[in-house]
Amino acid sequence: MSLVVMKFGGTSVEDPAAIDRTAKIVAGRVAAGKKPVVVVSAMARVTDQLLRCASSSAQGDRTGALAISSRLRSRHRDTACALVKNPKEASTLANWIDRKFDQLDEILRGLAAILELTPRISDLIVSYGERLSSRMIAAAFAERGVNAAHVDARDVIVTDSQYQKAIPIDAIIEKRAAEKIHPLVQEGKVPVLGGFIASNEAGITTTLGRGGSDFTGALIGGAMHAEAIEIWTDVDGIMTSDPRVCPDALRVKVISFEEAAELAYFGAKVLHPATILPAVKKNIPVLVLNSKNPANEGTRIISLAPHCKSPFKSIAVKKKLSIIDVVASRMLMTHGYLKEIFTIFDKYQTPVDMVSTSEVSVSLTVDSNDKLPLIAAELSKLADVKYEGKKALVCMVGEDIRGQNGMAARVFAAIRHINVRMISQGASEINMSFMIEEDDADEAVRSLHAAFFQQPDPEIFDVEARKPAGANSR
Ligand code: ASP
Ligand code: MG
């Protein structure tokens, strides 16, 4: 029934102008005969500020916490006031916002008295961001001719009780969506819900983890068998590489879920694919779109990408990494050695990005962090340890490298002038990653981009956008 879930991130609802643009985008979909269900994030930076409120008051800084809350109150009141002009609606909304902030302040005062922040209370505090934004945006939509109906997402998204990273219960969500959202859509209304927030079966507020609004969008889209899920953000979609480093970078028009997942780790700015899994499982396409440039077609993420003439879809880079070399002859023919090494990383809660082993050595890469000296000290009880920072990981992703001969030769030929420290060809067979000096990273990306995206497949990449610049540079 042409149902689309439209999720708008924090920057798409950051101020009255952004909310106004968002309303126009939704109105456009309605005019085109679609039935949108809208999911919104908290206004930009609000989640961080609420978390700061919570930790300040738990540390006894009641004044500091209340000061942040008071600034948030003004920001929401001012935004509501700028958006909603109907006097009756405006005063109802202003009073409602005040009541929410009175409640929040009450919680913050309590926290400053008990000086203990539990994950459950943290979720309750942070939930105000989406509760406020969704209610306010629904009112703004209504005034702009969108027949909006606010729905408290906590009545629909039901999870277990793992506060701060709760796991959704699909069967209940499906039932609740059918009861609470579907009838509104049938009546021609546009339901507006906050992302990220949920509740457990007892009705206690939980959250889906940071960035969880995309997840909400996918859960609702999945539960309601939407024809598409649109993730509205502030970039044009997934690019072939970072346009700041590589001015030739192109928008990727279509990418597979697996490819997007490989890239996510590098460019979480766009979206984290794990969060759209509920959509992918049901074969619902996910579109990444730019609310500041709505005419742009964005990137379409689908389960199976069409065949592409170029082997790679995108080149991603992660900087500020360190490489740790662990060398020990003791490793020879022993088992459990890797386990011992990883136990130490686990103890310091440091994720390992890439591993390469030989009979006598293991090299690992991690995000540079202040625990490295401690980790190295513990590792040196097992073996000789060296570590070095300022490294970068370059990752080339594409389904079409599967089974292609000579791909490694082509990649390394393109960067033959650059010293490569570590190589890994992903088990997924769709990525090739290698580790180089951070100072070489930009140059490596430009060389690789020139080698692999010279004749981009117009089915997959937005070649139109490049024409003017391309014509001059080649
Ligand atoms: N507001 C939440 C966050 O900042 C959820 C989201 O926007 O996706 O993490
Ligand atoms: Mg996000």
Least confident of 23-27, 140-144, 423-427: 423-427
Residue 60: per-residue pLDDT: 96
**Residue with more model confidence, 172 or 328:** 172
Give me ligand 2 centre to Cα 314, in Å.
20
Give me ligand 1 centre to Cα 213, in Å.
6
Give me ligand 1 centre to Cα 268, in Å.
13
Residue nearest to atom 6 of ligand 1 (CA): 211
Residue 369: per-residue pLDDT: 80
Residues 324-345 have a mean pLDDT of 80
Distances (CA, A) of 263 to 1, 236, 272, 298, 451: 32, 16, 9, 16, 20
Q: How far apart are CA 226 and CA 221, in angstroms?
A: 5
Rounded to two decimals, what is the model's pTM?
0.86
Give me ligand 2 centre to Cα 75, in Å.
21
115: left (phi over 0), alpha (psi -120 to 50) or beta: left
CB-based pocket (< 6 A), ligand 1: 9-10, 41-42, 47, 129, 195-196, 210-213
Q: How far apart are CA 132 and CA 143, in angstroms?
A: 17
Q: Which of 47, 51, 164, 231 to mutate to test the pocket of ligand 1 (most atoms within 8 A of CB)?
A: 47
Ligand 1 nearest atom to the CA of residue 213, by list position: 8
Residues 272-278 have a mean pLDDT of 78
Least confident of 43-52, 283-292, 300-309: 300-309
Give me ligand 2 centre to Cα 9, in Å.
6
Confidence of residue 469 (pLDDT cuts 50, 70, 90): very low
Residue 329: per-residue pLDDT: 65
Ligand 1 nearest atom to the CA of residue 129, by list position: 1
Ligand 1 nearest atom to the CA of residue 210, by list position: 9
Residue 427: per-residue pLDDT: 61
Closest-lying ligand to the alpha carbon of 209? 1
Residue 332: per-residue pLDDT: 54
pLDDT at 109 over 50: yes
Residue 40: per-residue pLDDT: 98
Residue 272: per-residue pLDDT: 72
Longest dimension (CA), the chain: 79
pLDDT in tens, 52-106: 999 999 999 999 999 999 999 999 999 999 999 999 999 999 999 999 999 999 9
Nearest to 346 by CA among 388, 375, 381, 319: 375
